[in-house]
Chain A
Amino acid sequence: AQTVTQSQPEMSVQEAETVTLSCTYDTSESDYYLFWYKQPPSRQMILVIRQEAYKQQNATENRFSVNFQKAAKSFSLKISDSQLGDAAMYFCAFHMDSNYQLIWGAGTKLIIKP
């Protein structure tokens, strides 16, 4: 069975600095997708970034980038120039290419210090 582990229940960073959130996963599949979702206090789940396992190049979206290490089954999220609006729960999720289920990590609470 596939599992997703986020080992950091909470992280804090000074505004304008860089923070990295960790995620590891376990699967025997070769075709899959990895996601980072943001959940602010409003509860709305928002897709931050997506990575296809077959792509070697790390995905980037403005201030958000990932470090995807397929062999190590690691998928970390780097947030540069942290802003107060980045404060939220961040969830790592895994999706096999062959079924409908998103497998979620337990989440990391990100605190931004002004």
Chain B
Amino acid sequence: NAGVTQTPKFQVLKTGQSMTLQCAQDMNHNSMYWYRQDPGMGLRLIYYSASEGTTDKGEVPNGYNVSRLNKREFSLRLESAAPSQTSVYFCASSEAGASGRNEQFFGPGTRLTVL
């Protein structure tokens, strides 16, 4: 099992460019998440998908959109990148439901720089 995979690992964009971060999991998990990690801060939730076909905003959704393509894949799109979106982005998945009993498994992250 690969677990949670993310592509790309690194990306540099110019202000105003768009891009999509890809995430896939092979653990048959129902719930998936996108976080961003900024220096000196913990992770912050951007969007999550409780189950296939549903998505909801997290703590910092502005400037992002998501698509739950199928049970395995959950993508994050930046329509018009801004320097404030320079960060490390993590995708995670968990079995099902909101309970903290369901451990979240994380991908390796994507380091995004917006110039």
Contacts and interface: CB of A to CB of B under 8 A. Distances in A.
A106 B58 contact: no
Interface string A24-57: 0000000011010000001111110010100000
Nearest to B104: A102
A106 B42 CA distance: 4
Contacts, number: 62
Contact of A45 (B44, B45, B59, B90): B90
Nearest to A103: B42
A104 B99 contact: no
Interface of B: 31, 33, 40-45, 48, 50, 56, 58-59, 88, 90, 92, 98-101, 103-104, 106, 108-109, 111
6 contacts: A43-B88, A46-B106, A47-B103, A52-B100, A100-B33, A105-B42
Interface of A: 4, 32-33, 35, 42-47, 50, 52, 91, 93, 95-107
